């Protein structure tokens, strides 16, 4: 579930290394204070299924009883440790939001408390939303109905006040090859189903999704006032247009290739190549007239958009813009709209009932005002002491990673030197931002949830566009503090761990080192490894997209990575559905590398050296149990099929067993012999770090 933010892994003296490498040369870091053995802390013994042999299927051994006793709740498509932690976090967040909503009327106007409280209160006020109907939406629908020419369409798409215009994406982000500046970027988009394969494949699953999508879209058009026949016709037109966009789109595996998806051209050339986009107007209205170049992710996609803008009837384009607008703000529209959206989600994920309104409103508040809300969250849920302890663990793993790099027998001295420089250069962000976002220009009202969505969308857009021409904001976060996740950002060469994930079971101050290193230690190692995975490794210590590997080292790395791809291709979560080893490559490499590095760091602890058993398990065994138990999860078949098609992360069973099957340390800890299912033949094991 951890994310790559690739917006997602001789003698020392002769190499002239410093920082972490120097620490390695000087010896191990200061010993951490040992955690006194405590029975029943960290590892949940009740989860273990002793009818399963650990050397046959460690995931089901470590979690089997939990899996039997925790079916997926009706309102969920999957249920696991992330959901359990999310629920605990949401209980805290709900309490904060209810207090903020109650106090917003007397809070200082414009304060974070007023904005957070009024946003949540408006989202929860279903009676007001029903009473408003389409009152706040109608002006925008009328505007779309008045677009009678390509020039009018271009003007609408160029306005920063327009939301969900579809077609393609445009924004400001770091230049991957010059990470010290912001650049204008254009990329493929415009697909309501998200993934191109849903439009193009003819298997039963894809056909069912398309049928459900058409039903959903037709329902929305009818709710907007179209007669049934007209609604169906309009839905066909939109799906037809999106199918043409899908045909021009790159697949998810191709989208992972950072080199192929970096195409920098002068603005004048882009204007010539794609005249129907009217880029001069779009750049002008966005305040980006000073841009000399644009970075195009997928040139063939923009070429198709250029053609389609001119050839698609204006009436069909109106329906496309109408659909994009309405489907994006469904949560703030009357109940019938949300019900139609949920019926389609049932097709996609298999969920049996809609989540309660407070959870949906909570997520909307976090998405709109994440750092204003996040300040209130960390005050209650994440102490400075917890932040300091987590940062120390990061530094312990950094030292361990340097050791692993220097010990590799396949990497040359020159590449090792650059790798250590990159490792030393990792910026570490723990818990919450040191500098919070400024929401002073964002106006939030209690009267209308829909108006608040429009306001936050416009604010977010202006916040992004306003970066152009300014120094890189290295303090910025890509996730909110309550988020149960983590990420690596290649352009900033940073690893980021929100407060939301630095909680049990991933990190528990009461647990022994073995469990914490197997849990959050592996999470930390995972994000570090993203700096050296098949795509993250393409950036250097400064975040620039640059090939710093020797030709021979690159070939050796690729061969090792290909072996991982073949391993995961063979995994089959449900009948006839295989994991896509190329799509999941980066996350699989990060899982294997992260667990390896965490294990190396754990060896330096007094617990690992002492070998004392807790609850009948050795420290080594507890380390691996800590890893396995954070991945416990049950998933609906519909969700698994969607995950395998669209998600760069492998299903949890294989995130657990895949890395372990490559680790002799695991075999030794549980006495696994050759011939057991978890033990790979020596020639078939992958060990990069």
Active site amino acids: 527, 591
The 3-state DSSP class for residue 130 equals helix
Q: Which residues contact 604 (CB under 8 A, 6 or more apart)?
A: 28, 29, 31, 32, 396, 400
Distance (Å, rounded) from C-alpha 376 to C-alpha 441?
20
Structure tokens at 260: 């192929």
Check residue 651 and report its DSSP letter.
P
Q: Which residues contact 247 (CB under 8 A, 6 or more apart)?
A: 196, 199, 200, 304
Nearest-5° Cα angle at 131, 125 to 134: 105
From the list 103, 6, 120, 146, the residue with the least C-alpha distance to 491 is 6
Nearest-5° Cα angle at 590, 584 to 594: 150
Helix axes 150-158, 314-328, angle to 10 degrees: 20
In the block, tokens 């992958």 appear at 686
Q: Which residues contact 601 (CB under 8 A, 6 or more apart)?
A: 393, 396, 397, 399, 400, 517, 521, 525
Structure tokens at 129: 């939303």
From the list 616, 634, 563, 621, the residue with the least C-alpha distance to 592 is 563
Q: What is the largest CA-CA distance in the chain?
A: 78
Structure tokens at 472: 């890189």
For 100, 154, 197, 277, 313, the CA distances from 307, given in Å and listed in that order, are 50, 14, 22, 10, 12
Cβ contact 536:490 at 8 Å: yes
Structure tokens at 675: 């011939």
Cβ contact 634:80 at 8 Å: yes
Secondary structure in 3-state letters for 327-396: HHCHHHCCHHHHHHHHHHHHHHHCCCCCCCHHHHHHHHHHHHCHHHHHHHHHHHHCCHHHHHHHHHHHHH
From the list 166, 176, 186, the residue with the least C-alpha distance to 286 is 186
């Amino acid at each position: 579930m951890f994310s790559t933010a690739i917006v997602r892994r001789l003698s020392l003296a002769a190499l002239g290394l410093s920082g972490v490498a120097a620490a390695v040369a000087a010896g191990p870091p200061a010993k951490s204070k040992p955690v006194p053995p405590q029975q029943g802390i960290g590892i949940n013994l009740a989860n273990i299924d002793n009818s399963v042999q650990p050397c046959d299927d460690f995931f089901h051994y470590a979690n089997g009883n939990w899996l039997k006793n925790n079916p997926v709740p009706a309102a969920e498509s999957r249920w696991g440790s992330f959901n359990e932690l999310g629920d605990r976090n949401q209980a805290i967040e709900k309490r904060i939001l209810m207090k903020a909503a109650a106090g917003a009327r007397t809070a200082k106007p414009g304060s974070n408390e007023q904005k957070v409280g009024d946003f949540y209160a408006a989202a929860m006020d279903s009676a007001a939303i029903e009473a408003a109907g389409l009152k706040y939406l109608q002006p925008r629908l009328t505007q779309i109905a008045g677009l009678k020419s390509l020039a009018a369409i271009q003007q609408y798409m160029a306005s920063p006040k327009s939301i969900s215009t579809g077609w393609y994406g445009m924004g400001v982000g770091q230049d991957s090859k010059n990470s010290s500046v912001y650049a204008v970027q254009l990329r493929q988009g415009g697909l309501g189903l998200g993934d191109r394969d849903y439009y193009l494949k003819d298997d039963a699953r894809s056909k069912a999704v398309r049928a459900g999508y058409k039903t959903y879209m037709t329902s929305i058009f009818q709710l907007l006032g179209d007669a049934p026949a007209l609604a169906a016709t309009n839905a066909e037109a939109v799906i037809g247009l999106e199918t043409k966009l899908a045909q021009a789109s790159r697949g998810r595996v191709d989208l992972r290739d950072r080199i192929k998806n970096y195409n920098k051209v002068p603005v004048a050339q882009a204007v010539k190549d794609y005249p129907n986009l009217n880029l001069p107007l779009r750049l002008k209205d966005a305040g980006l007239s000073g841009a000399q170049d644009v970075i195009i992710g997928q040139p063939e996609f923009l070429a198709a958009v250029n053609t389609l803008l001119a050839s698609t009837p204006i009436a069909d384009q109106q329906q496309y813009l109408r659909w994009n607008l309405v489907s994006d703000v469904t949560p703030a529209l009357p109940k019938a709209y949300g019900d139609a959206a949920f019926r389609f989600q049932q097709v996609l994920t298999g969920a049996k009932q809609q989540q309660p309104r407070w959870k949906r409103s909570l997520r909307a508040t976090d998405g709109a005002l994440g750092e204003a809300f996040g300040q209130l969250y960390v005050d209650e849920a994440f102490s400075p002491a917890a932040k300091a302890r987590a940062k120390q663990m990061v530094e312990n793993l950094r030292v361990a990673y340097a050791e692993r790099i220097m010990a590799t027998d396949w990497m040359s001295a020159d590449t090792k030197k650059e790798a250590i420089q990159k490792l030393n250069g990792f910026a570490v962000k723990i818990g919450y931002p040191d500098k919070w976002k400024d929401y002073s220009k964002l106006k939030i009202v209690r009267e209308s949830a829909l108006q608040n969505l429009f306001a936050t969308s416009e604010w977010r857009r202006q916040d992004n566009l306003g970066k152009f021409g300014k120094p890189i904001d290295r303090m910025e976060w890509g996730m909110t503090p309550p988020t149960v996740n983590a990420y690596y950002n290649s352009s900033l060469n940073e690893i980021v761990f929100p407060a939301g994930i630095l909680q049990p079971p991933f990190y528990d101050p009461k647990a022994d080192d073995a469990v914490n290193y197997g849990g959050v230690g592996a999470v930390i190692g995972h994000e570090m490894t993203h700096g050296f995975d098949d795509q993250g490794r393409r950036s250097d210590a400064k975040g620039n997209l640059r090939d710093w590997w020797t030709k021979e080292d690159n070939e050796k790395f690729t061969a090792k990575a290909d072996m991982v791809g073949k391993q995961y291709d063979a995994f089959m979560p449900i009948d006839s559905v295989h994991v896509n080893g190329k799509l999941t490559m980066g996350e699989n490499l990060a899982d294997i590398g992260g667990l390896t590095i965490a294990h190396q760091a754990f060896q330096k602890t007094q617990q690992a050296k002492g070998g004392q058993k807790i609850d009948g398990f050795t420290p080594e065994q507890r380390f691996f149990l800590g890893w396995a138990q954070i991945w416990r999860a049950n998933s609906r078949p519909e969700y698994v099929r969607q995950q395998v098609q669209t998600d760069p992360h492998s299903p949890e069973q294989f995130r657990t067993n895949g890395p372990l099957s490559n680790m002799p340390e695991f075999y030794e800890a549980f006495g696994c012999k050759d011939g057991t299912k978890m033990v790979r033949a020596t020639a078939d094991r992958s060990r990069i770090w």
